Structure 1
Amino acid sequence: MTFPFDNSYARLPERFYRRLAPVPVAGPRLVALNEALARQLGLAVEALRAPAGLAVLAGNAVPEGAEPLAMAYAGHQFGAFVPQLGDGRAILLGELVAPSGERFDVQLKGSGRTPFSRSGDGRAWLGPVLREYLIGEAMHALGVPTTRALAAAATGEPVYRETALPGAVLTRIARSHVRIGTFEYFSARDDREALGQLADYVIARHYPDVRDAERPYQALLEAVIGRQAELVAQWLAVGFIHGVMNTDNTSIAGETIDYGPCAFMDAYHPTTVFSSIDHQGRYAYGNQPRIAHWNLARLAQTLLPLLGPSEAQAIEAAQAAIDAFPGRFERAYLDAFRRKLGLFEAHEDDADLIGRLLKAMAETGADFTNGFRALCAAALETDGPAPAPFGDGALGAWVVDWRARLAREAANPAERAAGMRRANPAVIPRNHRVEATLAAAVDGDLAPFEELLRVVTDPWEDRPEYQRYRLPPEPHEVVQETFCGT
């Protein structure tokens, strides 16, 4: 079992991490393998399925060329700063270079205690591992930048939370595991040398286009802000709620990372919260842009020593970059929702049109995914009855205005509807389906997980066999809370 490792992060100074190997497990068993991703990474599927490959995926063997380490970082968690967090249950095996030339981290999550574990056991259990696998692959299919799962392996050992649960290890693939919290770690220690080294590393690996800018660190900040604006706009466009948008869960590379108490909305409402630990609704659906802005301001603070020759100039540069976020997000958001509504041109009144639709959906409890999907067929006609749930009332009146807006463009109706079907998924990982699937997996039945995975990674087609996965939950199926795996 060979991995084409080239471990650039391990070449940084050792205060960036702690070197250690994963903790072996008693009875490794392969639960799921992402064969398409393995091939993309240049890995042999047969070798991964073999005993030697399973040993690597479970943490029982360290492959040649790996330099396993736990990364150091800090973070603001629900607004409160914690100066040391770090990988408490994860080991970065190394970075591999895919046949495309792209570089990816290979991380084992649930691989045992590290120096950053605090009072934790360093392990993961099967339910959250399969949730991350499932949601990450669904997000990838939806076109949202995300970390992905290469494999899930059972450990043959129990993990104790409220009760004994089956242990598992996730092999996570990411463009980077550097977070805003990584910068905060060194800022909290006033380690300006490490801040410069980290910023230079991130520029070289993720933002090489800014290396020759007049002010490269300001350009780096602006580039990260741009990616986060795009990412959160994409979350909102598919009804996704991250659930725990702490700065240690905010990727510098602009990927969705750490699928803990995440969820997709059924009925639309901007205050929707699922996370059992988000008691004040800090990370509610509609708050996500504001929290991203807040998190990015924390990044800007850490970069102040690099942003100007004087404190005043550094603050001015940081403030200018942060103040640009609302506008950048608004543009990304409007572009995403224009695509959902079949609008190819930008008009000044589009924000009002989108806002009125969402207001009416919130007032009527309309299903977010099914509501937008229904508009795809409605776009083929210039008049006539609107599809459910748009038949009457505020939603029906909105359809009249929307069709009038469509008439201001010369687009072919069939092409418009086809474009809308690529912006409005037919299926998402609905919470009640996910929870039922994970419960079955914990009881030993993986068939529902495998079927749901097939469905959510093919989200754009109206397949009759997927119809039951499109249905909102019955009242007794509604999921009120989602939980963090720790």
Structure 2
Amino acid sequence: MRTLSELTFSNTYSELPSVFGTQIKPQPLTDPFLVSVNPKVCTLLELDLDEASTDYFVDLFTGNDELHGFSPIAMKYTGHQFGQYNPDLGDGRGLLMGEVLTSQGEKWDIHLKGSGTTPYSRQGDGRAVLRSSIREYLGSAAMHGLGIRTTHALAVLSSTTPVYREQVERGTTLIRVAESHLRFGHFEYLFYTNQHAELKLLADYLIRHHFPDLLQQESDSTPNRYAIMFHRIVSLTAEMIADWQSVGFAHGVMNTDNMSVLGLTFDYGPYGFLDDYNPGFICNHSDYSGRYAFNQQPSIALWNLSALGYALSPLIDKSLIDEALNTYQAQLQLHYSKRMRNKLGLTEKRDQDSDLYSEMFRLLANQGVDYTVFFRTLSTIPKEELASSIPHFEGLFSCTTTLSQWLQHYATRLELESINDQERLRQMQQSNPKYILRNYLAQQAIVLAEQGDFSMVDKLLLVLTDPYSEYPEYEDYAALPPQWGKELEVSCSS
């Protein structure tokens, strides 16, 4: 493990031409202090955890000190927001501080969110607040714990700097760590401004740093490397969306400027995990049309990929773009089916499985059954006890007749499996989390944090890091949410 001054940097993005962003320093926060640090992200960076308790760490990531090796840059991009192209986007409250190289040759972006105004702030103050920073900090930890590709958050730091939203809040910074911060919107920016040479340069940059195997694949008899690159992005996006749907995660703002070219869950705003199973769940209070509802995410991802394909059209023949897009649905279904089989303890694909899934989802939707608790409960019941397992689901169903029928169909399906029952239950318990980041839990942690008590943030971080394990002392975090907890409204405001 290394100290901050011992980190190795390779700031490749800041070496690109000036059209890709603006070099600028973060603006200091007053009386800064540490809220929480994620030990697992320290490990990713090979950073000594004790560094986070130093004044230097706090000052460095609140704009009050500088680190040799950082080369801060506000990235320029554009994108489609709620289906409309917006040319006036970019890092309006964040900076790519630098790129850390590990001893294994891995490269990690260090991005400071809430760092102050940039040329892309659009009359904003460039600041983040405690509540939105805690939500991203815990949200990214939760997704990583669920085994879903995501950006990470190293730490949250706050201050006495006043930030004016609906009320006066604390100016806060979040240290985001990611393999890359390249978004669909980076390519859209260069396409719509007719900077096609720079578009090619960015595609080459992406391939060189993240898909280096493609450098050896191009020949006269194969599609060009940019077409293969786009295929790769389609595949990564399909897998990400399948993962989201399987755990009941709704992103809330799937604009193209919030879509990662590496299939990372990116830009945590008004996201939410399903409580009661509701396919039309809208987690963003500002999404009046339901464009980004839970059940719309697969089609919206394809829409976004089409927008990216159009932006890449100077590099890729339209037929090859369409060919890649046409693989999306099959890949999405492939990954989703695998996830759902794991959740139900099935190892073999059978023709009748789609009927079993459909019947189950109708049952959950019709009775508003808690998505996470249902699957976790199911993963504790041996096959021979399924017929008499109704008491296990007490409090989840208002009518158990249809549940009993489905359990019979499920037990019959399990008879076709060669896997032993102990192994089935183990597989299910490693695929169905006991703990998810429910909105009301995040809100309780935020209220305490705003009062200076960060203990619940750290407790949630612990259980979300490994949500499949048992934590008897935090059993309340796995309980059904109170009714008021299901009705919280979350918007993009931060």
TM-score, length basis structure 2: 0.94
Do the aligned partners of residues 234 and 89 (structure 1) sit closer, same or farther apart at CA in structure 2, a change above 3 Å counting?
same
Q: Please state how far the C-alpha of 1:275 moved relative to its aligned partner.
A: 0.6
8 Å CA contact 1:125, 1:485 repeated in 2:
no
Counterpart of 1:70 in 2: which secondary structure? strand
Decide which moves more: 226-235 or 42-51. Answer: 42-51
Q: Please state how far the C-alpha of 1:211 moved relative to its aligned partner.
A: 2.4
Instruction: Tell me whether 1:306 sits opposite 2:310 in the alignment.
Output: no
User: What is the correspondence of 1:307-346 to structure 2 with a 5 Å cutoff?
Assistant: 307=316, 314-346=317-349
CA distance in 2: counterparts of 1:270 and 1:155, whole angstroms: 40
The correspondence for 1:279, drawn from 288, 295, 298, is 288
Instruction: Tell me whether 1:257 sits opposite 2:266 in the alignment.
Output: yes
Counterpart of 1:377 in 2: which secondary structure? coil
CA distance in 2: counterparts of 1:34 and 1:485, whole angstroms: 25
Q: Please state how far the C-alpha of 1:449 moved relative to its aligned partner.
A: 1.8
Instruction: Tell me whether 1:182 sits opposite 2:186 in the alignment.
Output: yes
CA distance in 1: counterparts of 2:98 and 2:155, whole angstroms: 16
Output the amino acid matched with 2:297. Q
CA distance in 2: counterparts of 1:231 and 1:377, whole angstroms: 27
Decide which moves more: 124-133 or 200-209. Answer: 200-209
8 Å CA contact 1:124, 1:167 repeated in 2:
yes
Output the amino acid matched with 2:478. R
User: What is the correspondence of 1:59-208 to structure 2 with a 5 Å cutoff?
Assistant: 59-208=63-212
| Correspondence for 1:311 | none
Counterpart of 1:472 in 2: which secondary structure? coil
- Superposition CA RMSD, Å: 1.4
Identity %: 39
Instruction: Tell me whether 1:478 sits opposite 2:481 in the alignment.
Output: no
Instruction: Tell me whether 1:368 sits opposite 2:376 in the alignment.
Output: no
8 Å CA contact 1:429, 1:456 repeated in 2:
yes
8 Å CA contact 1:361, 1:395 repeated in 2:
no
CA distance in 1: counterparts of 2:122 and 2:386, whole angstroms: 62
8 Å CA contact 1:249, 1:257 repeated in 2:
yes
Q: Please state how far the C-alpha of 1:379 moved relative to its aligned partner.
A: 4.3
Instruction: Tell me whether 1:269 sits opposite 2:272 in the alignment.
Output: no
The correspondence for 1:428, drawn from 414, 422, 436, is 436
CA distance in 1: counterparts of 2:257 and 2:22, whole angstroms: 17
Q: Deviations over 1:427-457 (max 9, x none)?
A: 1111111111111211222122222222222
Decide which moves more: 363-372 or 318-327. Answer: 318-327
Counterpart of 1:154 in 2: which secondary structure? strand
CA distance in 1: counterparts of 2:353 and 2:12, whole angstroms: 45
8 Å CA contact 1:21, 1:62 repeated in 2:
no
Output the amino acid matched with 1:462. E
Q: Please state how far the C-alpha of 1:394 moved relative to its aligned partner.
A: 2.2
CA distance in 2: counterparts of 1:39 and 1:455, whole angstroms: 18
8 Å CA contact 2:36, 2:454 repeated in 1:
no
8 Å CA contact 1:91, 1:111 repeated in 2:
yes
The correspondence for 1:56, drawn from 57, 60, 80, is 60
Q: Please state how far the C-alpha of 1:472 moved relative to its aligned partner.
A: 2.0
Q: Deviations over 1:343-384 (max 9, x none)?
A: 111122222221221111000111100001111122442653
Q: Deviations over 1:52-100 (max 9, x none)?
A: 2221121222211111100000011111100130000001011111233
Counterpart of 1:94 in 2: which secondary structure? strand
Q: Deviations over 1:248-287 (max 9, x none)?
A: 0000111111111001110001101121111111111111
CA distance in 1: counterparts of 2:480 and 2:303, whole angstroms: 33
- Structure 1: gaps spanning 5 or more residues: 308-313
Do the aligned partners of residues 475 and 383 (structure 1) sit closer, same or farther apart at CA in structure 2, a change above 3 Å counting?
closer
Output the amino acid matched with 1:398. W
| Correspondence for 1:460 | 468
8 Å CA contact 1:427, 1:459 repeated in 2:
yes
8 Å CA contact 2:463, 2:471 repeated in 1:
no
Q: Please state how far the C-alpha of 1:473 moved relative to its aligned partner.
A: 1.9
CA distance in 1: counterparts of 2:57 and 2:483, whole angstroms: 44
Decide which moves more: 234-243 or 390-399. Answer: 390-399
Output the amino acid matched with 2:203. A
Counterpart of 2:354 in 1: which secondary structure? helix
Output the amino acid matched with 2:415. A
CA distance in 2: counterparts of 1:394 and 1:200, whole angstroms: 55
CA distance in 2: counterparts of 1:279 and 1:212, whole angstroms: 47
Instruction: Tell me whether 1:397 sits opposite 2:400 in the alignment.
Output: no
Decide which moves more: 57-66 or 89-98. Answer: 57-66
| Correspondence for 1:449 | 457
Q: Please state how far the C-alpha of 1:483 moved relative to its aligned partner.
A: 2.2
- Structure 2: gaps spanning 5 or more residues: none
CA distance in 1: counterparts of 2:273 and 2:347, whole angstroms: 26
8 Å CA contact 1:25, 1:59 repeated in 2:
yes
8 Å CA contact 2:29, 2:171 repeated in 1:
no
Say how many residue pairs are matched. 480
Decide which moves more: 222-231 or 461-470. Answer: 461-470
Instruction: Tell me whether 1:216 sits opposite 2:225 in the alignment.
Output: yes
The correspondence for 1:289, drawn from 278, 295, 298, is 298
Instruction: Tell me whether 1:24 sits opposite 2:33 in the alignment.
Output: no
Q: Deviations over 1:35-57 (max 9, x none)?
A: 33213312223333212222112
8 Å CA contact 1:270, 1:285 repeated in 2:
yes
CA distance in 1: counterparts of 2:15 and 2:192, whole angstroms: 22
**Any runs of at least 4 consecutive aligned residues in structure 1 with deviations exceeding 4 A, and if so which?**
none
